[in-house]
Amino acid sequence: MMQFQTKLLPATLIKRYKRFLADVQLGDGNVVTAHCANPGSMLGLAEPGTKIWIEPNADPKKKLKYAWRLSEYDDKIFVCIDTSHANRMVGEALEQRQLTELGTYVTVRPEVKYGDNSRIDFLLENDAGKQTFVEVKSVTLSRRSQIAEFPDGVTKRGAKHLDALAQMVQAGHRAVMLYLVQRTDCKKVSVAQDIDPLYAQRLGHARAMGVEILCYQAELSPACQKVGKNIEFL
């Protein structure tokens, strides 16, 4: 279970701008600027007035003293907007051998170079030397009840990753596209074909080549977060 380094503080979003910045109002009325660790469109997640949770830090090397981690909606629905947390959660789950759908393995190596100038998020290897290439994507978009969608914007990089995974299958390895839904109100995952038709096409091609799809829902709260149960891919 991954805990935040410091206790999160509730705040209200004023606006997100320049992709990585957000002005927020603290409970005492003070307005501060927080880092927004999400390069995507954050479709539906950056509405002014949204209740959010920010993490303070005392690191003198960091320009901003706060980082936006979670958004909260009705009925305690949490969304983790920090895309880097997806890899951290999956990495922790892999190290603890919690993702049984990935089989047995003896080593977990993050950020390994492979293919055409790419890096795989995690390279697993079993005791027989069989390799499994795992690419992780953070999923935060939801436009239909209980259904999460990826991507929330055009992602040429994501399409490239799919092609690289397909090449690994052709080379005789196992390759897995893992979608981690970083919100607590979804039970299924789908492709946002209307947002990025090319990504949808490349995903279809990758699956036809033998790339596997795995989806998990994250368990989120202002106290901690972890990879939860396996959910369906539509």
The pLDDT value recorded for residue 100 is 93
Q: 155 Cβ partners below 8 Å, 6+ apart? A: 196, 199
How much of the chain, in percent, has pLDDT values that exceed 70?
100
The residues pairing with 233 across neighbouring beta strands, listed in sequence order, are 189
Domain 84-233 has CATH 3.40.50.970: no
Pairing of strands 188-191, 232-233: parallel
Q: Residue 149: what residue type?
A: E
| Residues of the chain with confidence (pLDDT) below 50 | none
pTM for this predicted structure: 0.95
The pLDDT value recorded for residue 58 is 83
Domain range annotation of the chain: 2-80, 84-233
The pLDDT value recorded for residue 126 is 95
DSSP H helix total and E strand total for the chain: 3, 17
Which of 52, 56, 58 is closest to 22 using CA atoms?
A: 52
The pLDDT value recorded for residue 117 is 79
Tokens of 189: 């995952």
DSSP conformational letter for 43: T
The whole-angstrom separation of Cα 47 and Cα 16 is 8
**Domain boundaries 2-80, CATH class:** mainly beta
The whole-angstrom separation of Cα 13 and Cα 70 is 11
The pLDDT value recorded for residue 118 is 85
